[in-house]
């Protein structure tokens, strides 16, 4: 039984089939890559999993539970977290507060203690901050804990996005283009981090990526989508030699020119 | 240590200001003030009522949504409190609270459909709701006295100790002023604690990036409904405080046509001028604006124009509002000095 099962997943925007009849599984503990040219519908897949969009048709089953059409916060509650394609953060909050907010689901304060503080509230607040600091250390941002999120450079913002998602303590983590806009050094740093996370915490990941080299080295399996349809699925080698995949990418080059 | 000293000095400033507020009626009476003391006490009571309304409106704004239904919910709270006392004979102490609860209940009924939309659409919903309340108060003649309204001069909050009874706001306004300060302080205390607690942080996260807040598990709808209901509860209490001060309500209640939509706009203005980012912004903005208005009675009908001009100036030159004056002064000083020396102002 796979951790996440998508069956017949489709999304129509007006006359456009952004995603159509997509089937795929995400197995526990693996890193699954989703690749495809611009506008192929990759982000739309994440948006459907996370409840940003309701699928036009199809089902999503996560840990044997049908989560199709769940609202975003319920999806998070069931154990799926996400890093957005852009750097979506709480810009005028500190780096630490961003992560503390990420741990929203793990903060339980009674009415009384949240209004008036008190020792138990302070203890829990402190535990939460300690936990947030641990996560920041993991992604290498502990020195910037008191910086405003908007003041971080792009690469570090990307790491912070990851930290916020990790604070949710998900079973499944969705990364939408985690290394876009990074230099080679930052890319390898990020990839190492993702690998380390998987080894350390047994996290399952789905990674959307444009950077072919990055995906090939990182993912156990890859799903290729083009025009909203799955055109190939398999290991890096299988994908790299698939004529359909090569054609899809060459086709895009023509469009772009 | 410095943190502690900061808190201590902040506390001291608070105590001094609070003592000053409590002494205000006496200061004004002793002839130091301008005009007649009783009249000024009356104005101060209204200032208290409006501070409560403006601060509550700002609480809603903390989630990023702007409500222009403030006057409408004041009307609901005020009418509920007054009617329950005048027609059902309940004690004003109780109905003051019930007025808030009725306003909160009404807010709870409309909150879900309203928060299905965001931004300008939400503003329009709340705005129209305010008008609906106003016209309902005018049309249900049997209950509310219609556009003429109804009076309840003999009803006041009162305290009986042994054989002596203190009726608030019958002999002088001073007791009622203290009652207002007391009630408003309690409400503000709750709002302050909420804003500076975990929920406050969640509101901020919704305002800053609602998609991210959702994706880490924040139930945005629930939080928005919650703060809307709580804020309207406090706005309803403000309406009740107003009602038992003036002892007569109509949809066009004087002074200042308080239940009219303009009041909601004024609340917005007070908040922006004072500083929307700060808890103290609405308090400062409301006090200053309302007192200035009284001092400038001479300008009469030109007031909205002047108020508008001040608002525009503040928005342009002090976007953080008057609470941040301390931050702006040095900057302006440097710029002015630069001008006189004929240099371009440094941005440092
Ligand atoms: N909210 C929306 N409304 C209408 N069309 C949309 C919406 N979101 C996406 N689309 C369209 O759906 C298609 C797929 O978009 P999507 O963002 O999923 O692509 P993508 O594969 O993530 O591309 P990229 O690599 O550029 O991020 C595009 O043609 C896009 O214009
Ligand atoms: Mg995308």
A156 vs A145: CA distance, rounded Å:
12
Give tens-digit pLDDT for B141-186. Answer: 888 888 888 888 888 888 877 777 777 877 678 889 999 999 999 9
Mutate to test the pocket of ligand 1, among A10, A17, A18 (most ligand atoms within 8 A of CB): A18
Section B44-62 average pLDDT: 96
Residues 102-121 of A with CB under 8 A from B: 102-105, 107, 109, 114-117
Contact B52, B44 (CB under 8 A): no
pLDDT > 70: what percent of chain A? 93
Helix (H, G, I), strand (E, B) or coil at B206: helix
Give the model's pLDDT for residue A109.
Answer: 63
* Closest partner CB to B205 (pick from A77, A101, A116): A101
Give the model's pLDDT for residue A255.
Answer: 47
Residues 100-129 of B with CB under 8 A from A: none
Does the CB of B276 have a partner CB in chain A at under 8 Å? no
Instruction: List, for chain A, all residue ranges whose pLDDT scores fall below the cut of 50.
Output: 253-257
Give tens-digit pLDDT for B216-272. Answer: 999 999 999 999 999 999 999 999 999 999 988 988 876 657 898 889 999 999 999
Give the model's pLDDT for residue B143.
Answer: 85
Q: Do A76 and B204 touch (CB under 8 A)?
A: no
Q: Please write down the long-range contacts of B288-294, taking CB distance under 8 Å and 24 or more positions apart.
A: B288/B322, B290/B43, B290/B46, B290/B47, B290/B50, B291/B43, B291/B47, B294/B40, B294/B43
Q: How far is the CA of B190 from the centre of ligand 1 (A)?
A: 45
Give tens-digit pLDDT for B268-296. Answer: 999 999 999 999 999 999 999 888 888 77
Does the CB of A127 have a partner CB in chain B at under 8 Å? no
Residue A45 CA: which ligand is closest? 1
Give the model's pLDDT for residue B243.
Answer: 94
Domain ranges, ordered by start, for chain A: 2-79+170-256, 95-167
**Quick check: B297 pLDDT over 80?**
no
Give the model's pLDDT for residue B275.
Answer: 92
Mutate to test the pocket of ligand 1, among A11, A12, A13, A252 (most ligand atoms within 8 A of CB): A13
Give the model's pLDDT for residue B199.
Answer: 87
Q: Which residue has the least CA distance to atom 3 on ligand 1? A: A13
Does the CB of B341 have a partner CB in chain A at under 8 Å? no
Query: Residue B86, preceding bond cis, omega within 30 degrees?
Result: no
B192 vs B55: CA distance, rounded Å:
10
Enumerate the residues of chain B whose CB falls inside 8 A of the CB of residue A77.
217
B135 vs B132: CA distance, rounded Å:
5
Helix (H, G, I), strand (E, B) or coil at B201: helix
Q: Do B211 and A167 touch (CB under 8 A)?
A: no
Q: How close does chain B come to A140, measured CA to CA in Å?
A: 21
Confidence class of residue B40 from pLDDT cuts 50, 70 and 90? confident
Q: How far is the CA of A197 from the centre of ligand 2 (A)?
A: 23
Yes or no: domain A2-79+170-256 corresponds to CATH 3.40.50.300 = yes
Q: At A71, phi and psi to the nearest 5?
A: -75, 160
Q: Do B209 and A91 touch (CB under 8 A)?
A: yes
Q: How far is the CA of B73 from the centre of ligand 2 (A)?
A: 44
Top pLDDT among B23 and B221 is at B221
Strands (E), B138-258: 150-151, 158-161, 164-167, 248-249
Give tens-digit pLDDT for A177-205. Answer: 998 888 888 889 999 999 999 998 889 99
Give the model's pLDDT for residue B263.
Answer: 92
**Quick check: B328 pLDDT over 90?**
no
Whose tokens are 């006295």? That residue is: B145
Does the CB of B174 have a partner CB in chain A at under 8 Å? no
Give the model's pLDDT for residue A235.
Answer: 87
ipTM: 0.91
Q: How far is the CA of A45 from the centre of ligand 2 (A)?
A: 9
Q: Do A104 and B218 touch (CB under 8 A)?
A: yes
Q: How far is the CA of A39 from the centre of ligand 2 (A)?
A: 7
- Identify the residue among A48, A51, A72, A86 best suited for mutation to test binding to B, counting B beta carbons within 10 A and taking the highest: A72
Give the model's pLDDT for residue A71.
Answer: 94
CA of A37, closest atom in ligand 1 = 25
Q: How close does chain B come to A60, measured CA to CA in Å?
A: 17
Give the model's pLDDT for residue A111.
Answer: 64
* Residues sharing a CB contact under 8 Å with residue A39, sequence separation 6 or more, in sequence order: none
Residues with C-beta less than 6 Å from any ligand 1 atom: A 13, 16, 18, 36, 38-44, 85
**What is the DSSP secondary-structure string of A183-213?**
-HHHHHHHHHHHHHHHHHH--EEEEE-S-HH
* Closest partner CB to B216 (pick from A97, A125, A164): A164
* Residues sharing a CB contact under 8 Å with residue A247, sequence separation 6 or more, in sequence order: none
Identify any residues that bridge with A31 across adjacent strands, giving them in sequence order. A205
Q: Please state, as a whole number, how many other Cβ atoms lie within 10 Å of the Cβ of residue B118.
A: 14
Give the model's pLDDT for residue A170.
Answer: 95
Segment (H or E) for A7 = strand A4-13
Whose tokens are 């702006």? That residue is: B328
* Residues sharing a CB contact under 8 Å with residue B43, sequence separation 6 or more, in sequence order: B290, B291, B294
pTM score, whole prediction: 0.90
Q: Do A73 and B219 touch (CB under 8 A)?
A: yes
Give tens-digit pLDDT for B81-133. Answer: 999 998 888 899 999 999 999 999 999 999 999 999 888 999 999 999 999 99
**What is the DSSP secondary-structure string of B19-59?**
HHHHHHHHHIIIIISSS-HHHHHHHHHHHHHHHHHHHHHHH
């Amino acid at each position: 039984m796979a951790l996440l099962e998508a069956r017949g997943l489709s999304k129509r925007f007006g006359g456009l089939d952004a995603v159509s009849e997509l089937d795929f599984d995400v197995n526990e503990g693996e890193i699954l890559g989703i690749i495809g040219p611009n506008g192929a519908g990759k982000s739309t897949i994440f948006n459907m999993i996370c409840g940003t969009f309701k699928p036009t048709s199809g089902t999503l089953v996560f840990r044997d539970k049908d989560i199709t059409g769940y609202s975003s916060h319920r999806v998070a509650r069931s154990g799926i977290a996400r890093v957005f394609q852009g750097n979506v953060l709480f810009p005028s909050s500190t780096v630490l507060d961003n992560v503390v907010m990420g741990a929203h689901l793990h903060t339980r304060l009674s009415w009384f203690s949240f209004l008036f503080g008190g020792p138990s509230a302070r203890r829990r607040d402190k535990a939460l901050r300690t936990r947030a600091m641990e996560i920041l250390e993991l992604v290498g941002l502990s020195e910037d804990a008191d910086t405003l999120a908007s003041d971080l450079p792009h690469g570090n913002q990307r790491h912070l996005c990851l930290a916020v998602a990790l604070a949710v303590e998900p079973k499944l983590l969705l990364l939408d283009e985690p290394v876009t806009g990074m230099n080679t050094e930052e890319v390898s740093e990020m990839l190492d981090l993702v690998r380390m996370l998987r080894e350390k915490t047994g996290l399952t990941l789905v990674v959307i990526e444009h950077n072919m080299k990055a995906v090939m080295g990182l993912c156990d399996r890859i799903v290729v989508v083009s025009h909203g349809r799955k055109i190939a699925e398999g290991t890096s080698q299988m994908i790299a030699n698939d004529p359909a995949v090569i054609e899809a990418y060459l086709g895009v080059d023509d469009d772009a020119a | 240590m410095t943190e502690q000293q900061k808190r201590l000095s902040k506390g001291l400033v608070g105590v001094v200001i609070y003592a000053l507020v409590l002494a205000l009626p006496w200061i004004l009476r002793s002839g130091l003030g301008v005009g007649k003391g009783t009249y000024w006490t009356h104005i101060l009571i209204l200032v208290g009522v409006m501070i409560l309304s403006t601060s509550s409106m700002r609480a809603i704004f903390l989630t990023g949504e702007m409500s222009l239904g403030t006057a409408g919910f004041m009307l609901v709270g005020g009418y509920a409190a007054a009617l329950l006392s005048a027609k059902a004979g309940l004690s004003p102490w109780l109905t003051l609270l019930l007025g808030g609860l009725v306003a909160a209940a009404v807010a709870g009924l409309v909150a879900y459909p309203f928060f299905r939309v965001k931004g300008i659409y939400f503003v329009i919903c709340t705005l129209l709701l305010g008008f609906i309340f106003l016209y309902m108060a005018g049309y249900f003649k049997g209950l509310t006295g219609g556009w003429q309204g109804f009076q309840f001069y003999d009803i006041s909050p009162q305290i009986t100790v042994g054989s002596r009874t203190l009726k608030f706001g019958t002999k002088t306004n001073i007791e009622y002023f203290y009652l207002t300060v007391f009630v408003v302080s309690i409400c503000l205390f709750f709002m302050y604690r909420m804003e500076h607690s975990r929920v406050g942080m969640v509101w901020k996260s919704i305002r800053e990036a609602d998609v991210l807040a959702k994706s880490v598990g924040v139930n945005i709808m629930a939080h928005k409904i919650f703060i809307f209901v709580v804020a309207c509860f406090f706005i309803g209490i403000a309406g009740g405080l107003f009602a038992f001060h003036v002892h007569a309500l109509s949809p066009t209640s004087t002074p200042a046509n308080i239940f009219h939509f303009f009041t909601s706009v004024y609340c917005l203005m007070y908040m922006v001028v004072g500083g929307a980012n700060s808890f103290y912004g609405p308090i400062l903005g409301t006090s200053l604006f309302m007192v200035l208005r009284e001092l400038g009675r001479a300008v009469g009908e030109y007031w909205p124009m002047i108020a508008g001009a001040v608002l525009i100036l503040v928005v342009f030159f002090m976007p953080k509002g008057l609470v941040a004056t301390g931050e702006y002064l040095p900057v302006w000083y440097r710029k002015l000095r630069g001008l006189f020396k004929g240099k371009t102002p440094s941005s440092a």
